[in-house]
Chain A
Amino acid sequence: MHYAPAILIGRIVRTLARMRKPGGGSAVPGLVVNKIAPGFLARTLNGFPEGLVIVTGSSGKSTITKMLVAVLRAHGKTVFTNPSTANISQGLTSALLEQASLTGHIDGDIAVLEMDEGHGAYIAGSLTPRVVTLTNVMVDQIDRFHDSEMVQAMLAKIAARATEAVVLNADDQYLQDLAAGVRSPVRVERFGVTTEVLEANPRGLGYAQTATARLPRGEGVLVTRVAGREAEISLPEGDYTVGLPARGTHYAVDAATALGAARQALGTAFRAGLAVAAISSIPAVFGRGEVVSVRGRQVEFVLVQNPASFQLNLDSLEPGTDQILVAIGSDVRDPSYFWPVTTSGLGRVLIASGSKAHEIALQLAYDDVAVDRIESDLGRALDDFLALPEPAVGLKTIIFSADGMRRTRAHLGLATNSEELS
């Protein structure tokens, strides 16, 4: 086959890249293959017998992709998926290279791809996904996407490629508006939460614009109750209790999203009980409320990726938690956009750290949060924080941006788990 030389070259480049920089350079071989055989990515992704499912949107992609893959595997499918750090096109090609035979063929019944909305819009034109899943529109880092309309336009471009179904968030007005453009025979599957669930989140769910109406019960996939790490989800097949990888309404919505996507991807083969069991068996997610044991201490990691997830994570912390470290790193170019987040519920933060330590401490101070110490050196901050005796209330809690998380993990020698990153 005509892809064989390109694949071989890609593999050689990959090996060389790894020799130069262990663990790094993963996008480079993809870059080379994309140059030599530009059709490789699309041809391979469009070639799975049961098609391609794309998961995209502002937040929740990694968790939903993981849940959906688990559901499909529980239904006996062989699934190709991308590690979420590899969701740009070169990285995707590199991920495909890992598994492709020299003819460009990859074993698998179906592919599930997590796509960054920006890069997804760039490569979507060559893809023919059966199902496109749209999570939500949140205001991302301001220096990356200017505004919600731009995100909506990128998602619309990806959604327009769906051949069978678009799965979307009924509580997100930008996505509801986009649904009007989906033409028969492509179906629209909606997921959402009830009025009660929404009202339990006084600051909303972080969508750039929340729709005024809720999804009626019996239509689509509806989160009817969230309690800790459990949610009640109503499907056309019946009502189910689902175990979540972490507490919080956004994980319940992630589960509903995955169930909606699985219903559309599997069609008549979908078994709700099997799907719910698969989602419930997913282990806690690292960096988003996962509890890990470090140096003999139980520590909870909380990842904040944008103002919405910052607020949701703060609101779901155990009240009165008395040992909190906040680490905001260089990935947050300008922390101004965190200021609409109400941090006063934290009460007291023992250490503000990371390269943006002073910026985040300033915000906390104006929210009347006591900040005991500002320590830009994250390693030192972590060592001192972990050395403290056990907290009186809650767990030792580390709230970090993605960069803070990477540095924390490296400093504490925790296993790399690239699938958890997005």
Chain B
Amino acid sequence: MTQGEPRPLTIVSVLPELLGGNGDAENARVLAQRARWAGQPAEVIPVRSAADLPPQVDAVVVGSGTDAQLNPVRDILLGMADDLRAWATAGIPILAVGTGLELLSWGIELQDGSVVEGLGLVAGRAVPRAARATGDLVVTSKHGRLIGFENHARNFVGAEASALGTVASGIGNGAGAEGVVMGNVIGTHLHGPVLAKNPVLADHLLRAVFAARGTEYVPAERALQIDGIAKAARNQIAVRLGLATE
């Protein structure tokens, strides 16, 4: 690395307005804040079209949007498909939530039988559910137990071999597994600020980000304090669901 002022971390938030209704886009802020607290300057770059893409990228967040916007959002994403693929191959962390995950997959089957082609970045495809899945979602993963909220109209099939974890409570992908992992690309139905509520996942991504820069990520004291709040929030949900607390 060069001496002096290193380039701040660049966290891309893809279509924060169209893919931010549940607060998923704010996961970019969570990564940036935890990096800053650890002494590493970071900035969140909102990307609304391929033209906004910065030359160098350290992490990417793709949030969840409405079904009415699936096609227009996919069309914008297609314009950055090559970049997303290059980043995924290079091991740059990408977090995709809800319809963000669905659009990065092979495609989305809609209730009326039509299909929205995905970008084919991760294995699997979305298929309609009889009833919407709305409620708490608890996932057992190699990072530990992940807890959040899910709200989606479709199941996710074809990613069983590379899931993020198994469902301890809730629906997830629909058949016992939840999410999909491909290298440092993580797709999940845990919507909203999943990285704030589950800092193990945030720090897993940040370790990859820092390692790519030849440094080691160590969570700041501040982050650890705030993680205590997240733990209390997770435990509250666990108690409500009759699960053991941490």
The chain A residues found within 8 Å of chain B, CB to CB, are 139, 142-143, 146-149, 333-340, 358-359, 361-363, 365-366, 368, 371, 374
Contacts and interface: CB of A to CB of B under 8 A. Distances in A.
Given A149-B66, A336-B192, A374 B151 contact: no
B189 interface: no
Closest 8 CB pairs of A and B: A336-B192, A339-B23, A147-B66, A358-B233, A334-B149, A339-B26, A336-B23, A149-B68
9 contacts: A142-B22, A336-B24, A336-B193, A337-B21, A337-B192, A340-B21, A340-B26, A366-B193, A371-B229
A153 to B, nearest CB: 10
B67 A358 contact: no
A98 B196 CA distance: 50
A374 B192 contact: no
A358 B232 contact: yes
Contacts of B21: 139, 142, 147, 337, 340
Nearest to A359: B233
Nearest to A355: B236
B233 A362 contact: yes
Given A143-B134, A336-B23, A374-B232, A365 B66 contact: no
Given A337-B22, A337-B192, A366-B33, A147 B68 contact: yes
Interface of B: 20-26, 29-30, 33, 66-68, 132, 134, 148-149, 151, 153, 191-193, 196-197, 226, 229-230, 232-233, 236
Contacts of B230: 358, 362
Given A336-B193, A365-B226, A148 B66 contact: yes
Given A142-B151, A365-B229, 16 more contacts: A139-B21, A147-B68, A149-B68, A334-B149, A336-B148, A336-B149, A336-B191, A337-B192, A339-B193, A358-B230, A358-B232, A362-B230, A363-B193, A365-B226, A366-B33, A366-B196
Contacts of B229: 358, 361-362, 365, 371, 374
Nearest to B225: A365
A185 B153 CA distance: 40
A149 B65 CA distance: 12
Contact of A146 (B23, B25, B67): B67
B165 to A, nearest CB: 19
A66 to B, nearest CB: 30
B243 to A, nearest CB: 16
Contacts of A371: 229
B232 A339 contact: no
A336 B134 CA distance: 13
Contacts of B66: 146-149
A338 B68 CA distance: 22
B156 to A, nearest CB: 18
Contacts of B67: 146-147
Contacts of A363: 193, 196
Interface centre among B23, B29, B33 (most CB of A within 10 A): B23
A232 B29 CA distance: 38
Contacts of B226: 362, 365-366
Nearest to B26: A339
A363 B23 CA distance: 10
| Of listed A147, A149, A359, residue having the most chain B CB within 10 A | A359
Nearest to B27: A339
A334 B68 contact: no
Contact of A339 (B33, B134, B192): B192
Contacts of A340: 20-21, 23, 25-26
Nearest to A341: B23
A366 B194 CA distance: 13
A371 B222 CA distance: 13
Nearest to B136: A334
Contacts of B149: 333-334, 336
Contacts of A334: 149, 151, 192
Contacts of A146: 66-67, 132, 153
Contacts of B148: 336
Contacts of A358: 229-230, 232-233, 236
Nearest to A368: B33
A368 B34 CA distance: 11
A334 B151 CA distance: 10
A148 B24 CA distance: 17
A21 B236 CA distance: 31
Contacts of A333: 149
A362 B196 contact: yes
A108 B197 CA distance: 54
A149 B196 CA distance: 30
A337 B149 CA distance: 11
Contacts of B25: 340
Nearest to B191: A336
A148 B21 CA distance: 10
Nearest to A146: B66
A344 B191 CA distance: 22
